Amino acid sequence: MKYRIACAKPGRPEETASYLYDNQTNEIFDSEGCLVDFKKDERFADFLTKKSSDRVVKDFSPDEPIIGKSRRLTTLKIQLGMACNYHCQYCLQNAYRDGGARVANEQTVDAFFKILDEQGIKLAVDGQVELWGGEPLVYWKTLKVLLPKIRSRWGDEVLVKMVTNGSLLTKEKVDFLMAHRVTVIVSHDGPGFDLRDDVDPLTVPEIKEAWLYLLEQSQAAGVPMGFCVVISPQNVDLFALKHFFATQFSPEAHFYFEGVVTNDGAANDACCLTPEEARTLDSAVFKALIQEEGQWESLEWRALGLMRYLINRVPADRIEGRCDSMNPKVMVVDLYGRIGTCQNRPTKQFQIGALSNLPAVRNPYFTRWTHRPACGKCLVLSACKGSCTHLTNESLALCCPNEFVFHAAIFGAVWFRLTGTIMLSALPVVESA
């Protein structure tokens, strides 16, 4: 799909420009029809990549499923179970909560590692292990057994990471986690916490104290600690969000964005951004990426990725999807050897194979954007990358409005970095028959 994009110079609305953008080829043409070649611009010399447009990304859909998993992994995601002590309105896992937490004992953990050995499954020296729930700390007895064995097996070079709501943290648990060099990411949405649970953990003195202790001990151990934020209607002012963490937790708080909240049918209308909230988010993202360039890490890597695609004119069908679970070197597995689709889906209901038979792994649940007509026509395809591959077309339709707002904000900031102009409108060009 081609778009006619009208632009203006900042502060000089009378100085307008018109471009033609092709979302499939990532080519940009000026008003004279000439290709805008950013490769020749010295400002972007560091973005140039060789043969980036020649790579092939394998297509997939339920009819053409992803087959197999590699025995040489870069990331091992261990799904401990779906049990959680919170009831966040927008959580993708809500439909799959365990009635009770099944705690894996030492024999189960040993059997898990034995299968890895028997199948010759290796983790890269600089790879990572991710521990997922539900809420991982609900499975504390399992973690007490699992973490020492992970470190004994792979040493300290492997990154071990855990995302938690943090409400069950204590100083004793922090000490254990730091002894095993676990990067702890606390999931908290700042001013948007009321979409999650009734009580904000930062208002509970003993929990806040444990979090501050975690920050202190993480810094002492040289292990990262931070917050994972989902952008919602309550926190679209990113600068107010930054102020929240600085004042309610610590000026040294580090946070990144998981993405924007999506209404996939499990959530309610409170998750949908209004036009005013969308404008606030757009303005905040632009300010963060332009006026404070390089200071917003998780926005920055999204922007830099899109810049590489546009500068190198990488075709959309040769861009990897947003989720890494489709990568053959990334594996989601439980301690019973069941391979799943995604850390946010239970391995029982979404089992795609077993550790004992990797060639037979078959994933019929993922759909690439190439099989979604709306994605192929979207202005921000190369920024959004087709959203979650697990979504059905019906769920995707509910998620798209918020996804578009967030990624259009990033697209607009990147456009300004490249062209020095502010986008005023982007209208699809109807091809003549």
- Domain coordinates in residue numbering, the chain: 1-67+284-319+367-433, 69-283+320-366
The whole-number pLDDT of residue 94 equals 79
Token pair listed for 120: 């010759």
Task: Kindly report the three-state secondary structure assignment for every residue of the chain.
Answer: CEEEEEEEECCEEEEEEEEEEECCCCEEECCCCCECCHHHCHHHHHHCCCCCCCCCCCCCCCCCCEECCCCEEEEEEEECCCCCCCCCCCCCCHHHCCCCCCCCCHHHHHHHHHHHHHCCCEEEEEEEEEEECCCHHHHHHHHHHHHHHHHHHHCCCCEEEEEECCCCCCHHHHHHHHHCCEEEEEECCHHHHHHCCCCCHHHCHHHHHHHHHHHHHHHHHCCCEEEEEEECHHHCCHHHHHHHHHHHCCCCCCEEEEEECCCCCCCCHHHCCCHHHHHHHHHHHHHHHHCCCCCCHHHHHHHHHHHHHHHHCCCHHHCCCCCHHHCCCEEEEECCCEEECCCCCCCCCCEEEEHHHHHHCEECCCCCHHHCHHHHCCCCHHHHCCCCCCCCHHHHHHHHHHHHHHHHHHHHHHHHHHHCCEEEEEEECCCCC
The whole-number pLDDT of residue 342 equals 93
With cut-offs at 50, 70 and 90, classify the pLDDT of residue 45: very high
Which residues pair with residue 332 across a beta bridge? 77, 340
Given phi > 0 = left and psi -120 to 50 = alpha, else beta, which region is 319? beta
The whole-number pLDDT of residue 219 equals 98
> What would the pLDDT profile of 106-120 be if each residue is shown by its tens digit?
999 999 999 999 999
Arithmetic mean of pLDDT, 199-204: 94
The whole-number pLDDT of residue 87 equals 82
> What would the pLDDT profile of 220-261 be if each residue is shown by its tens digit?
999 999 999 999 999 999 999 999 999 999 999 999 999 998
With cut-offs at 50, 70 and 90, classify the pLDDT of residue 265: low
CA distance to 46, 184, 221, 303, 307, per residue, from 289 (Å):
18, 26, 31, 8, 12
Whether 78 shows a pLDDT value over 80: the answer reads yes
The whole-number pLDDT of residue 11 equals 85
Amino acid at 325: S
Whether 90 shows a pLDDT value over 90: the answer reads no
Q: pTM for this one?
A: 0.93
Whether 102 shows a pLDDT value over 90: the answer reads no
Write down the mean pLDDT value for the chain. 93
With cut-offs at 50, 70 and 90, classify the pLDDT of residue 24: very high
With cut-offs at 50, 70 and 90, classify the pLDDT of residue 267: low
Cis omega (within 30 of 0) for bond into 134: yes
> What would the pLDDT profile of 145-188 be if each residue is shown by its tens digit?
999 999 999 999 999 999 999 999 999 999 999 999 999 999 99
The whole-number pLDDT of residue 433 equals 58
Q: Which has the higher per-residue pLDDT, 394 or 161?
A: 161
How many CA atoms are closer than 13 Å to the CA of 313, on its beta-carbon side? 12
Length of the chain in terms of residues written: 433
> What would the pLDDT profile of 309-320 be if each residue is shown by its tens digit?
999 999 999 999
Start-to-end Cα distance in the chain: 14
Whether 1 shows a pLDDT value over 60: the answer reads yes
* Proportion of the chain above pLDDT 90, given as a percent: 82
Token pair listed for 344: 């946010």
- CATH 3.20.20.70 for domain 69-283+320-366, yes or no, is yes
